[in-house]
Amino acid sequence: MLDLAIGVIIGGAFGEIVNSLVNDMLMPIIGLLLGGIDFSSLQITINDATIRYGAFIQSVVDFLIITFSIFIFIRAINRLKKKQEEKPAAPLEPTKEEILLTEIRDILKDKR
């Protein structure tokens, strides 16, 4: 339960970092490359309704970055798990009982 709570808190903080990265760093650079467009001000006004498609574009970029980051993270974890599973288990040493039983078996074979 504690792991889940920590994951939610870290996930929320990560979302804020990605949101800031997109809004404050990436979108201004993309806007400059596309001719000085400010995505946060892109909107269409129809009568009294305002459709802010620039904010939607920023949200889509946020989503893509977050999902890509999660994909890379999960892929790395799966590779680590796979490497751990591939390691062969060390052969178990026989217990004292098994050693004694083996000796008894060998003695009985020799008597026949």
Task: List the one residue out of 67, 42, 68, 72 whose CA is nearest residue 57.
Answer: 42
Domain locations in the chain? 2-111
Whole-number Å distance between alpha carbons of 17 and 87? 37
Identity of the residue numbered 18: V
What's the CATH number for 2-111?
A: 1.10.1200
pLDDT per residue as tens digits for the range 28-71: 888 888 888 888 888 899 988 999 988 888 888 888 888 898 89
18 near 65, Cβ under 8 Å? Answer: yes
Looking at residue 107, its pLDDT comes to 92
pLDDT per residue as tens digits for the range 64-91: 888 898 899 889 989 988 888 777 767 7
Whole-number Å distance between alpha carbons of 50 and 40? 13
